Structure 1
Amino acid sequence: MDLDTVRTFVAAADARQFQEAAAELAVTQQAVSKRIAALERNLGVRLFTRTARGAELTIDGQAFLPHARELLSAAERAAASVRTGRRPLRVDVIASRVAATGLMRGFHRAHPEIELDVLMLFDIETAVAAIRSGSIDASFRAVVAPGRPLPEDIAAVRVLDEPLQLLTGPAHALAGARSVPLARLAGHRIWMPGIVPGTEWAAYYDDLVAEFGLSIEATGPNFGSDALLDTIADTPALATFMGERTRLVWPAGHDLRRIPVTDPAPVYPHSLLWHRDNPHPALAALRAHLAAAAAGRDTAGTWVPGWAIPR
């Protein structure tokens, strides 16, 4: 059913004059008559009766009018749902406890008027495909992994260098250290069962191992962060890496230690990805917020893999 004919019908029903409806719609009276006639042919009924006073709704016209109004209202809601600036900004943060989630919470506090849809996509290929299709507006990733350049229509900017910390139980050999030089971790078993081959974080830790001679084990099933914390607390021979901004809660009896790593401090290079042609105004606000938060950060004495995009 053509919405222009429905809109013309409603205007004529409200005005009770084809001439007034034509003026409201900025068309000719002849165009109004043609649209009403086309709608009547489509429905198989007469909608108006011409009278000396103008145009009166028939009983069928009266029955159709509330449905016609609902059709126009539904069309407006459908258009508004995708109109630039009217729909929520959709952003992928990978996981709920990582630094990107904290960045988005900070953005929401600074801009509570902006509606957000926060979701979590696992791998970078899925995230890039979602950005290109328009199903999300942006994604936080460490890019680009070796041999996998971003498509030309995807833009990226590095927004946060997150220092890694060593997480140990109370009986670990390094548990009492206030900080640990990176070279001192050689020979210690670092257990990270969540590393998945082919992901950008797997590429990051591969380079970290190769450059500093570390031993990172990804063996065993990944039962999630709670199981990881239980194991680290109970096993003096194991430690793990954790981002400084990763939010963790553990039982008081675990007595876990988060120890800064230094000389150099390995930092995880979080970047924001988006489509170059995305016009959503809230995307520009997010980029400006992240740029302001990152301004003036000192990167001296830190390490990132050579494939990370520059600051």
Structure 2
Amino acid sequence: MAPSPYAHDIEPRLLRAFTAVADELHFTRAAARLFVAQQALSRDIRRLERELGADLFVRTTRQVTLTADGARLLPYARGVLAACDALSDAFRAETRPLLVDLNTTGLANGRVLERARELAPEQELMARYESGLTGAAAQILAGGLDVSFGRFGGLGPATRAGLASQFVRYEPMAVLLPEGHPLAGLAAVPLAALAGESVYAGAGNDRTAEWTDLAARLFAGRGITVAPRAPMAVGFEEFRRIMAKLGTPALVVVDFPPVPGSVLRPLVDPVPLSPVSLVWRKGLRHPGLDALRTAAAEIGAREGWLERPADSWLPADEAGVPAV
């Protein structure tokens, strides 16, 4: 493929399309992440290939893979996009609101946000309560969201490559039980007591894949199964309704808000941990992000969030957590 004489004038939009496909290795998912039609995305990729004079992807009916030229382009594309984002932020007439996904009301993430608002009262930090980190990460990379919280190590390496993170907390995990469940009378539930149970952990919800993966790793070898897919609940009220309808135990964290008709019990022997990080797009510069990072470090130091409890469990080689 002969290169175009205008290859030096590559539009950032084309590079954004390329990195989305490179991350997802799937045109449909990449198009959804960028909020564009798949045909438009394919058109941009073909145009970029013409301008560079190189095939960037090998496409078959079964899979999409990077060519050698595509792999060579990827770090340059990320660098250009990071520079474009930094330039936009540096010359913005007024600092725009920072959109922060807290996932669910009542979690420790909300305390970080409130402290950040105190530290930077002139900034507008807008909260949202919707996605798991998998869904949020896709929107962060697409530019539709700025910051989220969650298990950074549960994201794929290609997705993590476009993101930055700051470890915030070892969050102890718990089980949400229907009031009439045989284990509901315990003050804390040993993991071994859940043997034979099917526990809901968001299976089938592509926004929370990192949480389902964490549950599968925790349950492996303990006789506990991840409950099958349930209707996707967006927002706390819908989650509460679905849980009441299913009557199934659910894997949550100890700060999860109360659910009528259910009891929350911490898990022990060992204490399973959900590693929570603050996550944002590489290159993002915003005073609100600075305030969030300061708030997380301040509260974490004061309340021991960065101290791993004794007799605890965490996936082996978990990315994004402090080295032991």
TM-score bin (small chain):
0.5 to 0.7
SS at 1:271 equivalent:
strand
150, 153, 170: which one aligns with 1:144:
153
266, 269, 278: which one aligns with 2:272:
266
For structure 1, the 5+ residue unaligned runs are 1-78
RMSD: 3.2
**What are the Cα deviations for residues 147-176 of structure 1, in whole angstroms up to 9, with x where unaligned?**
534454421122122222122233211111
143, 156, 160: which one aligns with 2:169:
160
**What are the Cα deviations for residues 132-153 of structure 1, in whole angstroms up to 9, with x where unaligned?**
4544332223122375344544
What is the alpha-carbon distance in structure 1 between the residues aligned to residue 163 and residue 277 of structure 2? 12
1:247 correspondence with 2:253: no
Q: CA deviation at 1:110?
A: 5.2
After superposition, residues 1-311 of structure 1 pair within 5 angstroms as: 83=92, 86-96=95-105, 98-109=107-118, 111-119=120-128, 122=131, 124=133, 127-145=136-154, 147-192=156-201, 196=205, 199-222=209-232, 224-231=238-245, 235=247, 238-250=248-260, 254=261, 256-295=262-301, 296-297=304-305, 298-299=307-308, 300-306=310-316, 307-311=318-322
What is the alpha-carbon distance in structure 1 between the residues aligned to residue 192 and residue 320 of structure 2? 25
Q: 1:80 and 1:111, CA in 2 relative to 1: closer, same or farther beyond 3 A? A: closer
Q: 1:90·1:138 contact (CA, 8 Å) conserved in 2?
A: yes
Count of matched residue positions in the alignment of Structure 1 and Structure 2: 225
**Is the deviation greater in 95-104 or in 293-302?**
95-104
Question: Which structure has the larger Rg over C-alpha atoms?
Answer: 1
What is the alpha-carbon distance in structure 2 between the residues aligned to residue 181 and residue 111 of structure 1? 42
Q: CA deviation at 1:242?
A: 2.1
**What are the Cα deviations for residues 39-83 of structure 1, in whole angstroms up to 9, with x where unaligned?**
xxxxxxxxxxxxxxxxxxxxxxxxxxxxxxxxxxxxxxxx99972
What is the alpha-carbon distance in structure 2 between the residues aligned to residue 271 and residue 89 of structure 1? 17
Q: 2:166·2:277 contact (CA, 8 Å) conserved in 1?
A: yes
Q: 2:123·2:287 contact (CA, 8 Å) conserved in 1?
A: no
**What are the Cα deviations for residues 74-131 of structure 1, in whole angstroms up to 9, with x where unaligned?**
xxxxx99972772222222334465534532343355444311223563656534543
Q: CA deviation at 1:217?
A: 0.9
TM-score by length of 1: 0.61
SS at 2:157 equivalent:
coil
SS at 1:204 equivalent:
helix
The one-letter code matched in structure 1 to 2:164 is: A
What is the alpha-carbon distance in structure 1 between the residues aligned to residue 202 and residue 281 of structure 2? 33
Q: 1:273 and 1:133, CA in 2 relative to 1: closer, same or farther beyond 3 A? A: same
The one-letter code matched in structure 1 to 2:312 is: T
Determine the structure 2 residue equivalent to 1:63: none
SS at 1:213 equivalent:
coil
Q: 1:131 and 1:231, CA in 2 relative to 1: closer, same or farther beyond 3 A? A: closer
What is the alpha-carbon distance in structure 1 between the residues aligned to residue 280 and residue 231 of structure 2? 33
Q: 1:195·1:201 contact (CA, 8 Å) conserved in 2?
A: no
Q: 1:169 and 1:80, CA in 2 relative to 1: closer, same or farther beyond 3 A? A: closer
TM-score by length of 2: 0.59
**What are the Cα deviations for residues 214-264 of structure 1, in whole angstroms up to 9, with x where unaligned?**
1221244345322234246xx5xx4222222222342xxx3x321111121
The one-letter code matched in structure 2 to 1:145 is: G
What is the alpha-carbon distance in structure 2 between the residues aligned to residue 155 and residue 179 of structure 1? 35
SS at 2:117 equivalent:
helix
What is the alpha-carbon distance in structure 1 between the residues aligned to residue 258 and residue 267 of structure 2? 18
